[in-house]
Structures are given as C-alpha cells and as structure tokens.
Amino acid sequence: MSTNDQSAAATAEERIVRITVNGTAMSGIAEPRLLLHDFLRHELELTGTHAGCEHGVCGACTIRLNGEVVRSCIMFAVQADGASIETVEGMANNGVLHPIQVAFQEEHGLQCGFCTPGMLMATQTLLEENPDPSEDEIREYLSGNICRCTGYVGIVASVKSAAKKLSVIQSNANGKA
C-alpha cells in the first residue's frame, strides 16, 4: 500500500500539458478544469475545432485522439496529456484538400461550416474503420454530430463520395506496389 506522502498530490495548480497535434509536439498551460477544446482553441490557437454545446451532445468539438473520435468539450486538457491529437487543421496537405474535404465541397456537405471540422474528423475515422459503409452505417456513425444546415443529405452523399475517392486512391496505390 502506498502512503499519502508517496501519492501524487491533488492540486488545482496550473500544469504543463504536452500533446502531439497533427504530428507536431506542442505544449501549453492548463489548470485542471480547462476543457480540452478551450486548450486547443485558446491555448494552442487551433480554432478550427469548435464548441457548440459544451455538454457532449452536438459533436462540433469532435477531434481524433489516439485515432479515436472524441468530443473535446467533455474532456479536460490534463486528461489528454501525452496523447496524439488530430484536428481539422491537419487534414489538408500544404493547401491541397484531402479527398474527404473535396467530397464535402463537391456534394454540398456544408453550409455555415460550423459543424464541418467535427464532421470531417468523424468521417475520417469512420472510413478508416469501415472503408465502404452503407447509408445506414454512415447515419449511425455520424448520429452524434449535429448539423443544423444541411439536413444531412449532402453530408451522407459526401461520405459516400469520399469512400469512393479513397478506395480509388487505395487501389491505385496497391496497383503500383
């Protein structure tokens, strides 16, 4: 049994949180109560991730944390210490849109753009887990991401189109290999 003086102490002090964001090691200061979305947006100045409800329902704050879809509004920054995080800012490559982003533009998968970063993060994860999802699977997977503009029609079409684009890229890559 450990004794109290060997235990970590519980404090409200600010601390340094180190995370890898889009492949780059970053760090910032966080008191324990600082929510991860606030840490990303205001401490690391990555404002692409949005806050829509701050109680874990709307999905606007969706990021990828160690490869999984996570709501950054109901996670403290201190919980993410050491994690690898991906946000919308890391998706395009030197200004060249990712095929998922292209699909969202072509299929009118966004209007006001506020849900879009979260939708893209969720879509990317879905297509990694399931490269050829059915419409029902797409709708089930994205059901935690609210869009108030599109009625989801363009979003579902975008995900289907993105799946096709990615499978063509994959099969071309396999052909070359």
Partner 1 sequence: MSTTPTESLNTGLNIQTMAEADDVLGRRKYIGMSVLRTEDPVFLTGRGKYTDDVHLPGMLHAAFLRSPYPHAKILSIDKTRALALDGVHAVYTEADFEPILGHFVTTVHREEVLTVDRPIMDSTVARYVGQPIAVVLADSRYLAEDGVDLIDIQWEPLEPVMDAEKALEPDSTLVREDLGTNNFAHIEFQRGDTEGLFEGAAHVFSKRFHHGRFMAAPLEPRGVIADWDVASDELVVWSSTQIPHLIRTFTAGPLGIAESKMRVIADHVGGGFGMKAHVFDEEALIPASSKLSGKPIKWIEDRYENLAASLHSKEMIIYLEAAVDKDGKFLAFKGHYIGVGGAWPAHPWTSLIDTLPAASLLPSIYDIQAVSTQIDAPLTNRCPSGAYRGVGWTPGHVARETFIDDIAREMEIDPAEIRLMNSIPDEPFVSVTGMKYDGGSYSASLRKTLEMIDYEGLRKKQAELLKEGRYLGIGISPYVEPTAWGSEVAKANGFAAEFFDAANVTVEPDGSITVTTGCHNHGQAHYTTLAQVAADTLGVSFESIRVIENDSSQAVYGTGTYASRTAVVAGGAIMRAGKEVREKIIRLAAHAMEVSPEDVDLADGIASVKGVPDKSMTMAELGFMSYYGGSSRVPGVEPALTSTRSYDPPETYSNGTIIAIVEVDVETGFVDLQHIACCEDCGTMLNPMVVDGQMVGAISHGIGGAMYEDLAYADNGQFLSASLMDYLYPSTTEVPHMEISHIETPSVVTEGGIKGMGESGNIAAGAACINAIADALSSFGKIEINKTPIGPSDVMDLIRGLRGAK
Partner 2 sequence: MKPAAFKYVRAATVPEAASLLAEYGDEAKVLAGGQSLIPMMSMRLARPEVLVDIARIPGLNEIEANGVLTIGATTTQSAVIRSDVVSAFAPIIGVALGHVGHVGNRSRGTFGGTVAHADPASEMPAVLLALDAEIIATGPSGQRTIAVEDFFVTTFETALADDEVLTSIRLLAPTGNACWSFNEVARRHGDYALVGVAATAELDGAGKVTKARIALSGVSDTPVRVKEAEESLIGKTLSDGAKVAGEIVSSSIDPPGDFHATKQYRIEVAGAIVTRALNEMADQKGTR
Name the site residues for partner 1 (rule: CB under 8 A): 31, 33-34, 41-42, 46-55, 57-58, 60, 87-89, 91-92, 97, 101, 104-106, 108, 110-117, 120, 135, 138-140, 142-156
Distance between start and end Cα atoms, the chain: 55
Which element (helix H / strand E) includes 153? helix 153-176
Smallest distance, partner 1 to C-beta of residue 9, A: 22
Whether the Cβ atoms of residue 91 and residue 122 lie closer than 8 Å to each other: no
Smallest distance, partner 1 to C-beta of residue 134, A: 12
Q: Where are the beta strands (DSSP E) in 22-154?
A: 24-30, 62-65, 68-71, 84-86
Among partner 2, partner 1, none, residue 113 binds (CB under 5-8 Å by kind): partner 1
Question: Using the rule CB under 8 A, is 28 a contact of partner 2?
Answer: no
Residue 122 backbone phi and psi in degrees, to 5: -65, -40
Smallest distance, partner 2 to C-beta of residue 159, A: 14
Report H helices in 80-152.
99-106, 116-129, 135-141
Q: Which spans of this chain sit near partner 2 (rule: CB under 8 A)?
A: 1-4, 7-12, 31-33, 35, 38, 54-56, 59, 62, 65, 68-71, 73-76, 78-79, 122, 125, 140-141, 143-145
